[in-house]
Structures are given as structure tokens and as C-alpha cells.
Structure 1
Amino acid sequence: MRIDKYLWCVRYYKTRSIATQAIQKGHVTVNGQTAKPSREVFATDKITVRRDQIKYELTVLDVPQNRVGPKLVDMYRKDETPQEAFAHLELLRLSKDHYRAQGTGRPTKKDRRDLDEYGLDFDDDLDSNEDEA
């Protein structure tokens, strides 16, 4: 079976064309070598897939005839992704929240309209200060 079809069958990618694009970009290796979408996959092959900033490592146990349900995926592959990869992803998410909290920073258009509606008009204050001088 082709590698792009295999990754689609075991539900690593939603469509076969998305799997093909990922392989062409170099996100997938088979036995340590970058693969082409037409590369054949056999049992005991080691596949590395880089997706969502995680390097998934899996071993091919068997080749399915066609796409399988989510409960049956473990019959055809063995996931050997280290837990540190998932911990690293969670750490990245937390660090993004640390630098900029949601809703802070420059006011949105809605915030500006709410300020105008509340009666804060900064231009009038500036004009009155210039008249006094």
C-alpha cells in the first residue's frame, strides 16, 4: 500500500490529498528516509509523521484493505510517540497564554465603539486644553 493511502487509512490525515501534501513537504519519513507519496509500506516499517508540532512515531503492524474505523486503528499500527512530545505541546500552549492574555492589548473596534457610547471623547478634551493656552 502507498504511504499516503496508509496514513489516510489509519486516520492520521483527513483526506488522502492532505496526506500527499504533507509527504511532499517532507513531514513524513519511513525508516529514517524522507518518503515520496508513492512509497510502498510494509509491516515492521517505522514511520515518523510531523503534525501539529508533534513528531508521531509509529510502527506498521499490518496493512489495511481500506480505511478503518477509529476503534480498529490500533490493529494496524503501534504508536510509539514519547509522552514528552505531548508535554512539550502543552508547554507551548501555556507559554503563548503567558505572553499575551486573551482580550488584552489594542482595543478592538467594538471596544472603541463602547468607549464612544460611554461618552469618552478624547478629541474634545484636547481642543479645550488648546483654547485655554
Structure 2
Amino acid sequence: MDTTRIDKWCWAARFFKTRSLATDAIDRGRVRLNGERTKPSHSVKAGDKLAIDNGATEWEVVVTGVADKRGSAAIAATLYSETEDSLRRRETEAERHRLFREPSAEIKGRPTKRDRRLLDRSSS
């Protein structure tokens, strides 16, 4: 197999949990093929460069393998190689999140009276 649909590939490479989420993201322009917007039915082949924004993370990858069926995470990792620039951006983003935590990140659900006092104390 030399080519496959871009929505199937994004799903098989585990960038999206479902194929319909991949299709929606491609329709909204969150997945770019060689810098251009594309349709979910467009074919992807080895050597293509994809910019993928799955909502939580932005990736810039080069397609190294083609698959239209979802396999294990180990197999999915062989379908692409991430660019150096993308790796640096993701590491910088992770470091920033580690250093500057959102005060409400530890609180699950509605804050208690004690949680509210801690939030007020940390923001002062």
C-alpha cells in the first residue's frame, strides 16, 4: 500500500481517538498537508509533511509509513517522525506548564471553602 486517506492515517497513527474526530479536525483546517488545507479524502504518502493540531498538542511530522488500520502504539509510532522544531516546541510547552501551574489544576470539581482560601492566598 503506497497511499491512504489522510483521516484514516491520522486515526491509525493515534493523533485522534476516533476517525470522525480526525475527519472533523481536517475539515476545520487543523491538519495541514505540506502547508495546505486539505480534505479528509485526500491521499497521504511517505515523505508528506503534516501539521496536526489535535486540541491538546500541536505536532509537525513527516510521514514515514502508511497504514489505514489502527494498531498498537508501537506500530503507530513507526508511521511518522516528528521534526526537531516540533520536538523543541513541545518540550518548551511542557516545561512552561511544569513551572507555571494553574492554581486550580489540583482542584477537582467545585472548590471547597479551604480550596478557595488557598486560591485567594496564592493570588495575593
Letter in 1 for 2:37: T
TM-score calculated relative to the size of structure 2: 0.71
1:57 aligns with 2:60: yes
Once the two structures are TM-superposed, the CA of residue 47 in structure 1 deviates from its matched residue by 0.5
Structure 1 consecutive aligned stretches of length 4 or more whose deviation exceeds 3 Å:
92-96, 100-104
Structure 1: distance between partners of 2:76 and 2:106: 40
Of 70-79 and 22-31, deviating more is: 70-79
CA contact (8 A) 1:54 1:89 kept: no
1:83 aligns with 2:88: yes
Letter in 2 for 1:7: C
How many residues get paired? 107
TM-score calculated relative to the size of structure 1: 0.67
- 2:50 pairs, out of 42, 47, 54, with 47
Match of 1:69 in 2: 72
Letter in 2 for 1:60: V
Q: What SS does the aligned partner of 2:60 have?
A: strand
Unmatched 5+ stretches in structure 1: 112-133
Q: Which has the higher strand share?
A: 2
Structure 1: distance between partners of 2:106 and 2:88: 32
Match of 1:123 in 2: none
1:12 aligns with 2:12: no
Compare CA radii of gyration and give the structure with the larger one: 1
Unmatched 5+ stretches in structure 2: 114-124
Q: CA RMSD in A?
A: 2.7
